[in-house]
Amino acid sequence: MSHFDFSFYKKSADYVKDVIKDEPETALILGSGLGSFADEIENPVSISYSDIPNFLVSTAPSHEGRLIFGKIGNKKVICMSGRFHHYEGYSFKQLSIPIRLFKLLGVKRVILTNAAGGVNESYSPGDIMIIKDHIKLSSFSPLAGENIPEFGDRFFDVSDMYSSALRKTASEISKSCSLNFHEGVYMYFGGPQFETPAEIRMARLLGADAVGMSTVPEALTAAHCKMPVLGFSVITNMAAGVIPNSKITHEEVGEEAGKISEKFSEYIKKVIMSL
């Protein structure tokens, strides 16, 4: 990978601009098993990640690896079907690439979705958590290293990173949806192993409601770029130790996400239309 300067990111953006010939307003990054939303995009222009200069390639199972531009109603969206994770071997610096591409395309806000393990014992698989804040204990940041002032300030505020205004909208719209919604705190673990029962007890003590292996690097990069974030966790399983003697599998995660993906896609469409 070449040096991560402004021109590095601009090269990706120039290529995508040339293909889509338009300016998306909302960007989405879809988590495990939630790729079906991409099928809802009207007049789609689809770009394989491998065609975009300086972009990354998704290696996680059930992550498709395409950038899709189009419309939801009259709203212009760009959607990543398949995301990147630190556990795939990417540096946190590399994980800044998609969001910075969005910024250079003119995107105004970012919607992040993930599959997560439920820590809060009042949650159940199939529930949706609107993310109000996050916890990460490791000191990494996708913004470490030389600051690029074209994207944002060296030191930046994250007190309303998961935008309270967007959460309010999401909450209102959830009232007309048959899925069960909560608002809570997401805790980041690097993976790829699922968390231990002891780590889950710690997460609960610290105030986490759900745990997962994504979203936080993207949210931090968006905050640096001053782009409001709306985050959703689909609770696909209860985290380790919550249900005695039960094991967690990647298949279970995908299966549970698949069960609600149609209803969740409909809900996300309504949210985008209202923005």
Mean pLDDT by 10 residues, the chain (275 residues): 85 98 96 81 96 87 81 97 91 96 98 96 96 94 96 98 98 97 98 95 98 97 98 94 87 88 94 96
Positive or negative torsion for Cα 190, 194, 196, 199: positive
**Which listed residue (12, 54, 114, 214) is catalytic?**
214
Task: Give the CA distances from residue 98 to residues 163, 170, 255, in Å, rounded to whole numbers and listed in that order.
Answer: 20, 23, 27
Give pLDDT, residue 63: 55
Task: Give the CA distances from residue 18 to residues 58, 99, 102, 234, in Å, rounded to whole numbers and listed in that order.
Answer: 23, 18, 14, 34
Selection from 86, 68, 66, 87 nearest residue 76 by Cα: 68
Give pLDDT, residue 14: 98
85 as an active site residue: the answer is yes
| 3-class state of residue 137 by DSSP | coil
**Which listed residue (187, 213, 223, 240) is catalytic?**
213
Strands 181-188 and 128-136: parallel
Beta-ladder partners of 230: 111
**Which listed residue (13, 38, 60, 115) is catalytic?**
115
The total number of residues shown for the chain amounts to 275
Task: Give the CA distances from residue 185 to residues 32, 54, 62, 150, in Å, rounded to whole numbers and listed in that order.
Answer: 19, 33, 25, 30
**Which listed residue (25, 64, 88, 266) is catalytic?**
88
From the CB of residue 157, how many other CB atoms can be counted at a distance below 10 Å? 9
Give pLDDT, residue 62: 59
Selection from 215, 212, 255 nearest residue 29 by Cα: 215
222 as an active site residue: the answer is no
213 as an active site residue: the answer is yes
40 as an active site residue: the answer is no
Beta-ladder partners of 72: 75
Rounded to an integer, what distance in angstroms lies between the CA atom of residue 154 and that of residue 105? 22
Give pLDDT, residue 61: 63
Instruction: Enumerate the H helices of 71-191 as residue ranges.
Output: 97-105, 164-174
